[in-house]
Amino acid sequence: MAKKRPQTKAKRPQLTDGEIPVVGAREPCPCGSGRRYKACHGRAAAHAVTELVQRPFEGLPGECDWVALRELVPAATVELTLKEGLPEDVPSVTLATVLPMAWPALRRDDGSVLLGLQNDTASGDISRDLADTLLRALQTEPGTPVQGRRAPADGPRLQDLLDPKAPFEPVVHAGFEFWVPDAEHATPEVTASLERANAAAIPTVRLQGVDAAYWCQTPEKNHLRWVMPHPEEQLLDAFARLHAAGRSNLGEGTRLVGSFRAHGLTVPVWDLPSGVGAEDVEKPAAEFAERLAGALATDAPLTADERRARGGLTNRQVTLS
């Protein structure tokens, strides 16, 4: 019996990573490995869009306010400045906490763009998803909302699109009338959405004397929620020192009740008496900022009382995102 000749397969040309197209997850990988795409070059792409970015707004001007507008503030807007400038037919780009019908973005009839911040995102990187939505909004026909989608794994992030030198100055609104320039001529769907949003909005005011601190009024009591940029462990030590010394409040009747984590930053929360408004807490907040700066500059080991205070603060900490 004659020997069978060993069969050889023609070598497929090897592609570099940058040349490999995206195909279906169960299809053979175009690189020629013989494996399915999801188990080969698709693995890195899938990981890139699902891996959670702990601080998605890091490096942007006003990172703390980005977090506040994402998690705390019902109605606010910020004018955004793009690195490359705006297209000729786009007069402005405005970040908004929420848009009608929870649209990710809206291209208005006049060509201006509203970008919604408080939306579910398809990947683990809010910054990349928002950048993808913004780019599509710039090219959308006027008068058209932009729907959400999963951003390409190699797509730009907000940090790539926004001018890092431009100020980030939130304007807090009492309601959502900024959605429509002419509310009388809004569609019934937008009008209904506006009414529902206004009914649910909690009165909120941004303090002027310190950064990223927001007073809010709930049916039970008032609160101050303050997004802080300091490393969590250092910040908790500083708060423990102040708390143990009885210096963590914001005046008579106020109380530090805990904190929560949001997008990689820590947000301390104080209970305020029901009669205390935003203007009443401006001076106490500025004075607390000075006390906190001194506590942050201290590197001595915590005392027993301070360690107990730190444990109590840690036990009352909640992670939002």
Task: Please state, in angstroms and rounded to a whole number, the distance separating the CA atoms of residues 205 and 217.
Answer: 9
pLDDT digits (tens, 9 = 90+) for 59-109: 999 999 999 999 999 999 999 999 999 999 999 999 999 998 899 999 999
Other C-beta atoms closer than 10 Å to the C-beta of 207 total 18
Residue with the bigger pLDDT between 7 and 202: it is 202
pLDDT in tens, 203-253: 999 999 999 999 999 888 899 999 999 999 999 999 999 999 999 999 999
Give per-residue pLDDT as tens, 250-265: 999 999 999 999 999 9
Provide the whole-model pTM.
Answer: 0.83
| 3 pLDDT tier (thresholds 50, 70, 90) | very low
The count of other CB atoms within 10 Å of the CB of residue 141 is: 7
Mean pLDDT of the chain: 88
Write out pLDDT tens, residues 105-150.
999 999 999 999 999 888 899 999 999 999 999 999 999 999 988 8
Q: What's the pLDDT score for residue 14?
A: 53
pLDDT of amino acid 52:
87
Surface-to-core class of residue 154, CB atoms within 10 Å of its CB (0-12 exposed, 13-18 middle, 19+ buried): exposed
